Structure 1
Amino acid sequence: MTNHRRDLAIWGYAFGYFACYAPYSALTKALSHGALEGMTRGISGFELLPWSTLASGLGMFLFLTGRGWWQYASTRTFLGLRIPFPGPWTFLSGLCSAAIIATTTLAYTFSGTSIVFMMLLMRGGVLILAPLVDVLSQRRVAWPSWVALGLSFAAVGVATAPGVDARVTTAALVDLGVYLIGYFIRLRFMSRLAKTGEPSAGIRYFAEEQMVATPVLVAVLAVAALIGEGPVLLDIRHGFTELFARGRVLEELLVGVLSQGTGIFGGLILLDHRENSFCVPVNRASSIVAGVVATGLLSVLLGLPGVGTRESVGAALVMGAMLVLSLPAVLQARRAAKRDTQLPGSEAGTGASGR
């Protein structure tokens, strides 16, 4: 892949992230509120986690196998066999990714807190972390990234300004804190090990992180289910044992598949060779726009509260940030394409017809 095509690839990943995130967040919210036809009660976030995480793990395995990315991972010899095995830093990053998977799903199940508002808190927090990680990693931040970061901050400010009905429970704040800590550590490791400009380094990091994240989360949930004491652990146990009784098998598994889709596309965005102050706003903006779309769909189809004026303005500012970030890469790709057509021997230079 040429450099200018690689620079444009992030926008394809951003669309994939959006396409997975909108139905993922909408379906999670609908299930937790019991808003789908025939539901007599909502399914708690902890009940949703077990089977959605198992489906996510299967999606991860199929993706890495289909792309042939296992070969990039580090290996260890076990019983005479060479098997993929994460390094110590990718293992820790995988643990952080596991925490992010769990807290993201839980974030859209808290009662009284809208998808967009919770999403803006989470995304805004990571936006703040992006330039901090770049400074700590001694990476230069280009001016479009600063402009886009400013627009993103403005979007969060509009949505969280005084007068907004922002009911956030203690559980939601704990969820947010774990999410942000996980992202800070993950971005630091990515900057150090994966964002080197060498594509194989990013693929190796991605494969090793993914082979840790979902299996570890499944193991933690299984142990919690075996303990099964207290409301949270009982919900996790019921999550494993009452899948068919809840009657939403397809929807719960689909949450996991879509969650893995966001993990794949979101991870590929963050692993782009450019600075975090560029990649993080692209990642965050895609999910915020997806959240607005999801909220709108829930309002139209299921009668849940819709998108407010402040949230709409915030989404517009975020889309402006994406436009600012995309212009340099698009212009560079156009210049490169024009230069290629003018090279001696090219079709444009020789007058040869295309096949």
Structure 2
Amino acid sequence: MRPRPCRCGIQSHPWRYALAATPHDDTHDLTIWAYAFGYFAAYAPYSALTKALSGGSLPGMEHGISGFTLLPVSTLASLVGMFVFLTVKRWWSYAGHREVLGVRVPVPGRWTLLSGLCSAAIIGTTTLAYTIPGASIVFMMLLMRGGVLVLAPLVDIMSGRRVRWPSWVALGLSLSALGVATGTEVSATLTMLAALDVGVYLTGYFFRLRAMSHLAKSGDPAVSIRYFVEEQMVATPALVLTLAAMALVGGDGILGEVRAGFTGFLARGHLLEEVLVGLLSQGTGIFGGLILLDARENAFTVPVNRASSVLAGV
């Protein structure tokens, strides 16, 4: 059953309520594992299809499609997927609203706006990570997933959350699994573009986890859903607008590749696959976000999130 928006002051002061709320005992709540399966089910084909398009591995492809060229269509598809999901779930009512020209429209708060922008950076850098020439997909996963695992307990400590011993065990096992997954044959080459991609990715996750811990991980469904909706309504539109601005500027190099992503999607002949990359990416964003918004500490929810994505990627 869909939880109803609370009428006890949460709509006017939701974040104050979140800070004051005492998280309920959800150690036996299995919902997070359903989200983890959904994350895995979306991530496996997403990463594989992205790598196949960038490597020119699909039937009929003579050459690969660069990551910056893939982003426009896939991001537009993610935008549609986000709108459809929130509409079908009837979650728009949970967002904060403001009257604009006589019409009440959903608007994000300051912190969900920041979190949404960070999420937009995460979406873009994740897609690019699997398309950077010369970068090992598994090594990139080690840096990105392992980096967020390290951030998790640090954010908990900064947020005043107690990290229980099973979460420390989960962190240790997850980091060990990442090391085993890389093996001895993985190339550790890291280009300047790959290093920048990882840096933006981890920075985005740091601020996103901080905002979630401060505002939304209260155990109250209405608070978590409001945060989720306001973040989602910022993330993908912000990325689409950024790519559109880059395409309008145009030129050589990256700007030219982005423009080609908007203008040459029919000529490339793989529109369906590019759309699927975007829809699957949105699927990972939905399930991944719901995992992280679980009321338990980040040192628990992040390993669940990371283990699911690493398993799918490997």
Task: Output the TM-score relative to the length of structure 1.
Answer: 0.80
Deviations 1:75-106 (A, max 9, x none): 11101111100001000100000000000000
CA distance in 2, matches of 1:188, 1:178: 16
The secondary structure found in structure 2 opposite 1:7 is coil
* Equivalence for 2:142: 120
CA shift, 1:142, in A, is 1.1
Structure 1 residues 159, 65: closer, same or farther in 2, change over 3 A? same
CA shift, 1:229, in A, is 1.8
Deviations 1:110-145 (A, max 9, x none): 123332221121000000000000000000111110
* Equivalence for 2:55: 33
Between stretches 158-167 and 238-247, larger displacement belongs to 158-167
* Equivalence for 2:198: 176
The one-letter amino acid paired with 1:112 is G
* Equivalence for 2:14: none
Q: Which runs of 5+ in 2 are unaligned?
A: 2-23
Asked if 1 retains the 8 angstrom alpha-carbon contact of 2:136 and 2:186, the reply is no
Aligned residues between the structures: 292
* Equivalence for 1:194: 216
Q: Alignment partner for residue 309 of structure 2, among 278, 287, 292? A: 287
The secondary structure found in structure 1 opposite 2:29 is helix
Q: Alignment partner for residue 105 of structure 2, among 76, 83, 93? A: 83
RMSD, matched Cα: 1.6
Asked if 2 retains the 8 angstrom alpha-carbon contact of 1:160 and 1:166, the reply is no
Structure 1 residues 84, 232: closer, same or farther in 2, change over 3 A? same
Task: Output the TM-score relative to the length of structure 2.
Answer: 0.90
- Whether 2:254 is the aligned partner of 1:232: answer yes
* Equivalence for 1:130: 152
CA shift, 1:165, in A, is 2.4
Report percent identity of matched pairs. 69
Asked if 2 retains the 8 angstrom alpha-carbon contact of 1:25 and 1:115, the reply is no
CA distance in 1, matches of 2:185, 2:313: 21
Deviations 1:209-232 (A, max 9, x none): 000001111000000000012310
Asked if 1 retains the 8 angstrom alpha-carbon contact of 2:139 and 2:187, the reply is no
Greater Rg over alpha carbons, structure: 1
CA distance in 1, matches of 2:28, 2:244: 40
- Whether 2:75 is the aligned partner of 1:69: answer no
Structure 1 residues 4, 194: closer, same or farther in 2, change over 3 A? closer
Structure 1 residues 127, 5: closer, same or farther in 2, change over 3 A? closer
CA shift, 1:6, in A, is 7.7
Asked if 1 retains the 8 angstrom alpha-carbon contact of 2:141 and 2:310, the reply is yes
* Equivalence for 1:18: 40
CA distance in 2, matches of 1:7, 1:230: 52
Q: Which runs of 5+ in 1 are unaligned?
A: 293-355
* Equivalence for 1:218: 240
Asked if 1 retains the 8 angstrom alpha-carbon contact of 2:26 and 2:296, the reply is no
Q: With CA pairs under 8 Å and 6+ residues apart, which has the higher RCO, 1 or 2? A: 2
* Equivalence for 1:248: 270
CA distance in 1, matches of 2:152, 2:144: 13
CA shift, 1:4, in A, is 5.8
Structure 1 residues 169, 46: closer, same or farther in 2, change over 3 A? same
Between stretches 201-210 and 110-119, larger displacement belongs to 110-119
CA distance in 2, matches of 1:24, 1:162: 26
* Equivalence for 1:145: 167
CA shift, 1:160, in A, is 5.5
